[in-house]
Amino acid sequence: MMQCKEALPLIHEYLDGDLQRSDSQRLKEHLISCQACHALFKQLEKTDAMVRMLPPVKASDTLTAQIMSGLPQMKKRNTWMDWIRKHPAVSVAVVFATVMFGSFMSMWNDDTNLMVKGNDLQDVVIQGDTVTVPQGRTVKGDLVVQRGKLKVEGDVTGNLIVIDGTLNLASTAHISGQVTQVNEALGWIWYKIGEFVGMLSR
């Protein structure tokens, strides 16, 4: 025999038109035998009929605006962060480049010592901050002088690079490669990047 607690969901299904035929017969038998459920059924049936008779309610523009204003504001999407999430490799490269740029700038500002670099420095004369390639002498390969004064009177068979310094070429000087002077931090950074790339490609 059906219990009252089982009848209530079946009543709702019946009013919605979703009740199965087998359950409909069981509900009918219960409503005949139970006065309380029968009274509840009649009350719900009347309420359902009244709701169906009401005209459809259209929300006014004012009501719609009030409801919309009561909703929490949508967070603005951060398109920059979205782009970073979609392109992690580019983001890492940008961070790496920024760190490298900062390091190079720090090195440019902090390094005040004379630096001479080359494969063949035995004929180079260094006195204080002045580096001299004497007349009649030859430096084989590249010669790099940083933060100093370079005087070339002899020969250099490679490139000549002067960074943040001065260059004086005598009329007797002969340079086989290119002569490059870097007197700005940005130019030095490009030089260091080129040097780094050159080391990687070896």
Which of 109 and 121 is assigned the larger pLDDT?
Answer: 121
What pLDDT score does 151 carry? 92
Could you give the CA distance from residue 200 to residue 116 in angstroms, rounded to a whole number?
A: 22
* pLDDT-derived band at 196, boundaries 50, 70, 90: low
Per-residue pLDDT for 52 more than 80? no
DSSP of 125-188: EEETTEEEE-TT-EE-S-EEEESSEEEE-SEESS-EEEESSEEEE-TT-EESS-EEEE-SHHHH
What pLDDT score does 135 carry? 92
Could you give the CA distance from residue 193 to residue 101 in angstroms, rounded to a whole number?
A: 10
Q: Is the pTM of this model over 0.85?
A: no
What does each C-alpha distance from 128 to 10, 131, 148 come to in angstroms? 104, 8, 9
Per-residue pLDDT for 190 more than 60? no
Per-residue pLDDT for 44 more than 70? yes
Per-residue pLDDT for 191 more than 70? no
What does each C-alpha distance from 123 to 34, 119, 173 come to in angstroms? 120, 11, 14
167 exposure class (CB count in 10 Å sphere: 0-12, 13-18, 19+)? middle
Per-residue pLDDT for 140 more than 80? yes
Name the residue among 118, 120, 145, 119 with its Cα closest to residue 132: 145
| Beta-sheet pairing, 174-175 with 155-156 | parallel
Could you give the CA distance from residue 133 to residue 126 in angstroms, rounded to a whole number?
A: 9
Mean pLDDT of 170-185: 82
Mean pLDDT of 68-82: 68
What pLDDT score does 195 carry? 64
What pLDDT score does 147 carry? 83
Which of 61 and 155 is assigned the larger pLDDT?
Answer: 155
What pLDDT score does 86 carry? 75
Mean pLDDT of 72-82: 67
Domain boundaries, the chain: 4-53, 80-110, 114-200
Mean pLDDT of 60-73: 70
Mean pLDDT of 96-104: 69
Per-residue pLDDT for 109 more than 60? no
Could you give the CA distance from residue 113 to residue 202 in angstroms, rounded to a whole number?
A: 28
Q: What is the mean pLDDT of the chain?
A: 78
Could you give the CA distance from residue 162 to residue 182 in angstroms, rounded to a whole number?
A: 6
Per-residue pLDDT for 11 more than 70? yes
Could you give the CA distance from residue 105 to residue 187 in angstroms, rounded to a whole number?
A: 11
